[in-house]
A and B are shown apart, each in its own frame.
Chain A
Amino acid sequence: DAKTTQPNSMESNEEEPVHLPCNHSTISGTDYIHWYRQLPSQGPEYVIHGLTSNVNNRMASLAIAEDRKSSTLILHRATLRDAAVYYCTTTRTGGTSYGKLTFGQGTILTVHP
């Protein structure tokens, strides 16, 4: 499973876009990129995932670099409810560590009113 590197913390103002970066330079060709977030006193929740192409859903967008060694989670308009720890992770679809999600320290996102 690929090691991921994220900034320890980021800050944003409410209603502004937020770009959360993640490096996964050892990712292999069949590894999926997943993002999760953990709100205070809750379990992690799924945000978005992708393989090669950029992805959009109701929560966020995921931009994946052409070489797949990095990705960026985009929150288009941050709200106070988006304040959380955001985890970038990768997961294998075959071979050893099949299906395993390895979570790093994540990025603490603070949203200011």
Chain B
Amino acid sequence: EAQVTQNPRYLITVTGKKLTVTCSQNMNHEYMSWYRQDPGLGLRQIYYSMNVEVTDKGDVPEGYKVSRKEKRNFPLILESPSPNQTSLYFCASRMGAGLYEQYFGPGTRLTVT
């Protein structure tokens, strides 16, 4: 089954404790993205990657890191999480840009205390 998977689905952590949210897709997609969703602010793009070793900042990249060493994986790293990073996070992938549909993962609900 074609899908985007994220782990963990739920995470409660403390301020400053480094964490990684994994994202994997099995569709051989080139383009992958991370979004955060907050009430009243909608979905905002954090980082995106157009291919292996090619990443760029989205609208809200501060406090986040990403890497794209393999085509299928695009982990999101929070080196020193803070409470304002409490949010619902979605990973997404698509074959390319523009005319291709985007597939979203199920989401990771992160709480930073």
Binary CB contact string for chain B from 32 to 53 against chain A (1 if under 8 A, 0 otherwise): 0101000000111100101000
Residue from B31, B42, B94 in contact with A104 in the complex, judged by beta carbons closer than 8 Å: B42
Alpha-carbon distance between A49 and B45 when the two chains are bound, in angstroms: 20
The answer to whether B42 touches A99 (Cβ under 8 A) is no
Residues of chain B lying within 8 A (CB to CB) of residue A98: 50, 97
A residues touching B (Cβ–Cβ < 8 Å)? 30, 32, 34, 36, 42-46, 49, 51, 87, 91-94, 98-106
In chain A, what residue has the closest Cβ to B97?
Answer: A99
Residues of chain A lying within 8 A (CB to CB) of residue B92: 43-44
- Min Cβ gap A36→B in Å is 7
Binary CB contact string for chain B from 94 to 113 against chain A (1 if under 8 A, 0 otherwise): 10111101111111000000
B residues touching A (Cβ–Cβ < 8 Å)? 4, 31, 33, 35, 42-45, 48, 50, 58-59, 90, 92, 94, 96-99, 101-107
Leading 10 A-B pairs by shortest Cβ distance:
A99-B97, A93-B98, A43-B104, A46-B101, A103-B43, A44-B104, A43-B90, A32-B98, A43-B107, A105-B42
- Min Cβ gap B105→A in Å is 6
Residues of chain B lying within 8 A (CB to CB) of residue A46: 101-103
The answer to whether A100 touches B98 (Cβ under 8 A) is no
Query: Could you pull out 8 A-B pairs where Cβ atoms are within 8 angstroms?
Result: A30-B98, A32-B99, A44-B102, A46-B101, A49-B99, A98-B50, A99-B31, A102-B59
